Chains A and B, each alone.
Chain A
Amino acid sequence: MAMNTVMCLLTDAEGTPLGSAMYIPHNAGHLQLTNLVNTFLNNEEKLSYSFYVSDEELLVSVGTYMERNSVSVENVLKIVYRQQAVFRIRPVYRCSQTISDVHEGEILCVSFSPDGKQLASGSGDTTVRLWDLNTETPMFTCKGHKEHVLAVAWSPDAKCLVSGDRDGKVCCWDPSKGELQGNALSGHKKWICGIAWEPAHLSYPSRRFVTCGKDGDARIWDFTLKRTLIVLSGHTRAVTCVKWSGDGTIYTGSQDSTIRMWEITQQGQGILKHILKDHAGWVNSLSLSTEYVLRTGAFDHTRQVTCSDEEMKKIALERYIKAKGKVDSPERLVSGSDDFTIILWEPSVSLQPKQKMVTTARLTGHQQLVNHVYFSPNGQWIASASFDKSVKLWDGVTGKFITAFRGHANCVYQISWSPDSRMLLSCSKDSTLKVWEIGTKKLKHDLPGHEDEVYAVDWSPDGEKVASGGADKALKLWRG
């Protein structure tokens, strides 16, 4: 009997063991291990898991693995289990609609609303357009900007849309009618690089958002009052990205190669908490491990109908806590920079009253600047897009390198995850989009068709559609 069993220890992603080491039969495969984990965790529903042994996925039965890698039977085999999303998203492979003559300028940013019902795109012809996803035709044209629209962001309750342009003006829109609310808000002196909303579980309905610009400031605005509340200045050069985290901290990354952490006090003042100085070049992109959940708020892939405000806030809070992992485990931050490296930050464990972020890992390997980093929706992986034509996948907790996806013929600009974290989409200067599968670590589908560089891509939160736009002024919608 001893010959046919293997001693295994099941641990979760952070290292805590599930039960003690036990004997598992030789031919135990994926199904049996899943049943084991489900029973141990007393799950009511059978959730699906994926298993990893020393960072490689376990696809065959335990016995075969031991033989192949000639692991001694006397050692305890550590198997790490990770929960996979319960739902599966169909991979997109065909272009269902190409809308070419509507936008008169290059499409610079696209964004699906958190409930997946609407799509907004900002372009070089100074308009923001809202699209009807059922018929895949344009719905509203929002005019109000005088310069190229560089950034567009939906509030987590899907009721407000904000866009920023090259003049530094911010416009607030009512997405149900496509009308400009108020006037274009001025405040920034140069163009706007990024917009982030306050998370839904901190305030519902959403009111505050923060914008960052080339002038080095970040401004917090109130949507209903239509004015600037707080100006966060301090960066010496352009602020390229801003993120509002679930615990209320605002992170801003800048071309002066620092990242600043800001907090809003009870009196409504913005104070600088800490400066993170480890990069050697421009910080191009920031991502939080809970970013996807903060963006979608209380909506998930099932597109539930709305309830009252308090309930939505509660649902958003539950989703946020689930995405973080355990209740007191912190949010991780990852930043990609011009110095070809990516740094994974974690709040330091020391007992300082002000939590500062410490570098957990420096992820090197890219041969050109890193343009975009993005945590997967379940926080387990980090994907990075770089101008060296590759997309690299890293472990979201330890920062270890997993694999590189090569296939693009020119710089990769932006990436987007599918809501179940099983697929990754990248858009590039070579005018193609590529869908990569995380499980097999290979290219799943190649989506050519754009005639010029693709600048922006987004996967809808319900996983049904993908929208992409670029320099050829055409918006393409893809589906599975």
Chain B
Amino acid sequence: MPQGDYIDLHQKRHGRRLDYEERKRKKEARQVHKRSKQAQNSIGIKGKMIAKKNYAEKAQMKKTLKMHEESSSRRKTDEDVQEGAVPAYLLDRENTSRAKVLSNTIKQKRKEKAGKWEVPLPKVRPVAEDEMFRVIRSGKRKTKQWKRMVTKATFVGPGFTRKPPKYERFIRPSGLRFTKAHVTHPELRCTFCLEIIGIKKNPNGPMYTSLGVMTRGTIIEVNVSELGLVTPAGKVVWGKYAQVTNNPENDGCINAVLLV
């Protein structure tokens, strides 16, 4: 790096060489070959960096060329036809995006027979019995310990009557009984508050299924007549399965996702 202006001073006083322009022109012409030789023969990280820089330059150049090529004259554009055609009377109305062909009862029946279900939560943390039940002491001296009280959310059904208290082994407190669940449709992504019809399966064991205990991962059956679903055979669907996704005893409500 020149640290003075002596080069410029000399050029002003004495001018340049006589073949300066010629040499300059030729040198610049050689730069192209030199650059390409460098790019081809460099190895290692240096070569990669050169290649990357060259590629970026090439892409930019292509873009500018294309831009220049676009003429201002109008041309016939074939735009792709939009999906989701609706008739004229529905065009101005905002409809919620519909889920495509909703599953029919035949598929459901087959799945039921096989006992296999594709569920959103295939594995859940197992709940131990001492977490599920609390021991209730009874008797005059409070020594009998055969009664248990359920500490999780339950569903009992509309026609439920308690067994006589003297013989009741499992107590389901009314504060933990739920009738409705907040069910989300996975495709429509909206949540409905639907009535529970029954408990289908509790993954922790058949005893809990029969008691009606709802923990995370339980399959419940809900009343979906609100959604207005119809099977291809023309029958109205009014019950569908859903899986519980939260811990109802902690939240105070049951959140579930519909199994379609």
Decide yes or no: A448 and B81 within 8 Å by CB, A191-B88, A191-B91, A238-B92 being known contacts.
no
Q: Which chain B residue has the least Cβ–Cβ distance from A428?
A: B230
Q: Which chain B residue has the least Cβ–Cβ distance from A164?
A: B88
Min CB gap B223→A, angstroms: 14
Decide yes or no: A150 and B88 within 8 Å by CB, A409-B229, A430-B228 being known contacts.
yes
Assess the B85–A409 pair: CB atoms within 8 A. Answer: no
Decide yes or no: A124 and B234 within 8 Å by CB, A255-B92, A409-B229 being known contacts.
no
Assess the B232–A449 pair: CB atoms within 8 A. Answer: yes
Contact with A along B77-106 (1 / 0, CB 8 A): 011011011111111100000101100000
A193–B88 alpha-carbon span in the complex (Å): 5
A105: which of B79, B81, B101, B236 is its contact (CB, 8 Å)? B81
Q: Which residues of B contact A371 (CB under 8 A)?
A: 89
Decide yes or no: A150 and B87 within 8 Å by CB, A125-B81, A255-B92 being known contacts.
yes
Q: Which residues of B contact A432 (CB under 8 A)?
A: 230, 234
| Stretch touching chain B among A11-19, A291-299, A374-382, A450-458 | A450-458
Q: Which chain B residue has the least Cβ–Cβ distance from A447?
A: B234
Confirm or deny: B233 has a beta carbon within 8 angstroms of a beta carbon on chain A.
Answer: yes
Q: Which residues of A contact B233 (CB under 8 A)?
A: 448
Number of A-B residue pairs, CB cutoff 8 Å, is 86
Confirm or deny: A419 has a beta carbon within 8 angstroms of a beta carbon on chain B.
Answer: no
**What secondary structure prevails in chain B residues at the interface with A?**
loop
Assess the B85–A451 pair: CB atoms within 8 A. Answer: no
Contact with B along A182-225 (1 / 0, CB 8 A): 00000000011110000000000000000000100000000000
Q: Which chain A residue has the least Cβ–Cβ distance from B85?
A: A124
Confirm or deny: A431 has a beta carbon within 8 angstroms of a beta carbon on chain B.
Answer: yes
Decide yes or no: A409 and B87 within 8 Å by CB, A105-B81, A255-B92 being known contacts.
no
Q: Which residues of A contact B229 (CB under 8 A)?
A: 409, 430
Q: Which residues of B contact A147 (CB under 8 A)?
A: 81
Min CB gap B178→A, angstroms: 27
Confirm or deny: A106 has a beta carbon within 8 angstroms of a beta carbon on chain B.
Answer: yes
Query: How many residues of chain B have a CB within 8 Å of chain A?
Result: 25
A451: which of B81, B228, B232 is its contact (CB, 8 Å)? B232
Min CB gap A57→B, angstroms: 29
Confirm or deny: A233 has a beta carbon within 8 angstroms of a beta carbon on chain B.
Answer: no
A166–B83 alpha-carbon span in the complex (Å): 13
A409–B88 alpha-carbon span in the complex (Å): 22
Assess the B81–A409 pair: CB atoms within 8 A. Answer: no
Min CB gap B188→A, angstroms: 14
Range of interface residues on A (Cβ < 8 Å): 35 or more
Q: Which residues of B contact A453 (CB under 8 A)?
A: 98
Find the residue from B82, B84, B228, B234 having the highest chain A CB count within 10 A: B234
B81: which of A126, A192, A193 is its contact (CB, 8 Å)? A126
Contact with B along A383-417 (1 / 0, CB 8 A): 00000010000000000000000000110010000
Min CB gap B190→A, angstroms: 16
Assess the A452–B92 pair: CB atoms within 8 A. Answer: no
Assess the B232–A148 pair: CB atoms within 8 A. Answer: no
Decide yes or no: A413 and B230 within 8 Å by CB, A125-B81, A147-B81 being known contacts.
no
Contact with B along A244-272 (1 / 0, CB 8 A): 00000000000100000000000000000
Assess the A106–B228 pair: CB atoms within 8 A. Answer: no
Min CB gap A303→B, angstroms: 29
Assess the A446–B230 pair: CB atoms within 8 A. Answer: no
Assess the A431–B88 pair: CB atoms within 8 A. Answer: no
Assess the B89–A413 pair: CB atoms within 8 A. Answer: yes
**CB interface residues, A 139-185, toward B, < 8 Å:** 146-148, 150-151, 166
Q: Which chain A residue has the least Cβ–Cβ distance from B232?
A: A451
A137–B101 alpha-carbon span in the complex (Å): 25
Decide yes or no: A284 and B89 within 8 Å by CB, A124-B81, A409-B228 being known contacts.
yes
A450–B89 alpha-carbon span in the complex (Å): 20
Confirm or deny: A118 has a beta carbon within 8 angstroms of a beta carbon on chain B.
Answer: no
Confirm or deny: A290 has a beta carbon within 8 angstroms of a beta carbon on chain B.
Answer: no
Assess the A194–B88 pair: CB atoms within 8 A. Answer: yes
Contact with B along A84-118 (1 / 0, CB 8 A): 00000000000000000000011011000000000
Find the residue from B79, B98, B228, B231 having the highest chain A CB count within 10 A: B228
Confirm or deny: A240 has a beta carbon within 8 angstroms of a beta carbon on chain B.
Answer: yes
Min CB gap A147→B, angstroms: 7
Q: Which residues of A contact B82 (CB under 8 A)?
A: 148
Q: Which residues of A contact B235 (CB under 8 A)?
A: 448
Assess the B234–A449 pair: CB atoms within 8 A. Answer: yes
A148–B84 alpha-carbon span in the complex (Å): 10
7 A-B pairs with the lowest CB-CB distances in the bound complex, closest first: A124-B85, A448-B234, A410-B228, A148-B85, A430-B230, A108-B87, A150-B88
- Residue positions of B touching A, CB distance < 8 A: 78-79, 81-82, 84-92, 98, 100-101, 228-236
Other A-B pairs beyond A255-B92, A371-B89, A409-B230, 11, CB < 8 Å: A105-B81, A125-B81, A148-B82, A150-B87, A285-B89, A409-B236, A430-B229, A431-B232, A447-B234, A448-B232, A455-B90
Interchain Cβ contacts under 8 Å between A and B, 7 examples? A106-B85, A108-B87, A124-B84, A148-B85, A191-B91, A214-B92, A453-B98
